[in-house]
Amino acid sequence: MRYAEPETVEAALSALSTHEDARCLAGGASLVAMMNAGRIGPGMLVSLHRIPELSTITETGDGLWLGAMCTHRTVAADARLRGAMAAVREAAAWLAHPAIRNMATLGGSVGLADPHTEIPVALVAASARVEVAGPGSRRVVPVESLFVDSYRTSLQRGELVTRVFLPRGEDGAVGHHLRFSRVAADYPTVSISLVLAMDGDRCRQVRVVVGSCGPVPLHVDAADQRLVGTRLEAEDVAEAGGLLARAAAPIDDVRGSAEYRRMLIPRLLGRALSQARERAHV
């Protein structure tokens, strides 16, 4: 296996183009484990560690650009991720355990597209956009367009994620992430990320995304619409939760049965909404 440590994105793209099965190496938390287990054996590893651009955080008038190599620990500690962006900060703060949060990165979480993880869920809730670099060009796409299936993204061969944009969101919008796991540090059985804006006691805007209940983060427009304009009464939440549960495609695994996951969705949604709502009023 060959190994490269390029110092620019352009050099990384050039290294990626040399092998059909070349892979980016970010935190290595998942990639190295998969290699050790013999599940993959790339002919070329392109480390992204020496590329300063990929660890940069830039604040703009309407949000934050976070470099793909920002670790979860960095994201969790950045107080600028407030308002709608707080969903991503909270997901990064609570996932797994400190060793993983110190190693694993934002770009690695997008590139891995593991349906059991929660950074993709929070990014979709926050309406994040992702900059993708490929041979000779860069493009910015909505993050949800990258997640096409379990462990599969729409990234083309030779492309890499360079940075992620988190929009500030509407005035008064609050982001929140809630995970339910068997024990702390386990992958979530179900996770919910949402962005909520209230007008007095009525929901003005909401975007709810569910994780670990299908091959990609689950967003159901009709569920959001069922909540908008309501006072988020128990009946509203139950119906919106029912729409999400029916659209979900969970599996049975050691963290819970499909039936159990479907049952959890409305309950977690109610809890997440009431916690976000308290903050929306502060």
Q: What's the rounded Cα separation, in Å, for the pair 121 and 76? A: 15
Residue that is written with structure tokens 């975007």 in the block: 207
Judged by beta carbon, residue 93 or residue 228, the one nearer ligand FAD is: 93
Show contacts with ligand FAD in window 200-259 (CB under 6 A): none
Q: Token pair of 92, please?
A: 């990064």
With beta carbons less than 8 A apart as the criterion, state whether 179 and 118 touch: yes
Concatenate the DSSP letters of all residues of 202-253 into one string.
EEEEEEEEEESSSSS-EE-HHHHHHHTTS---HHHHHHHHHHHHHH-----B
DSSP single-letter state for residue 105: B
Select the residue interacting with ligand FAD from 6, 83, 108, 270 (CB under 6 A): 108
Select the residue interacting with ligand FAD from 95, 146, 178, 243 (CB under 6 A): 95
Select the residue interacting with ligand FAD from 51, 68, 190, 213 (CB under 6 A): 68
Site for ligand FAD contains 88 (CB under 6 A):
no
Judged by beta carbon, residue 151 or residue 172, the one nearer ligand FAD is: 151
Site for ligand FAD contains 29 (CB under 6 A):
yes
Site for ligand FAD contains 111 (CB under 6 A):
yes
Select the residue interacting with ligand FAD from 51, 67, 117, 198 (CB under 6 A): 117
Q: Minimum distance between the CB of residue 115 and ligand FAD, rounded to whole angstroms?
A: 10
Q: Token pair of 253, please?
A: 């695994």
Taking alpha carbons only, the member of 66, 246, 72, 87 closest to residue 179 is 87
Chain residues binding ligand FAD by CB under 6 A are 23-31, 33, 48, 68, 95-96, 100, 103-105, 107-109, 111-112, 117-119, 155, 160-161, 187
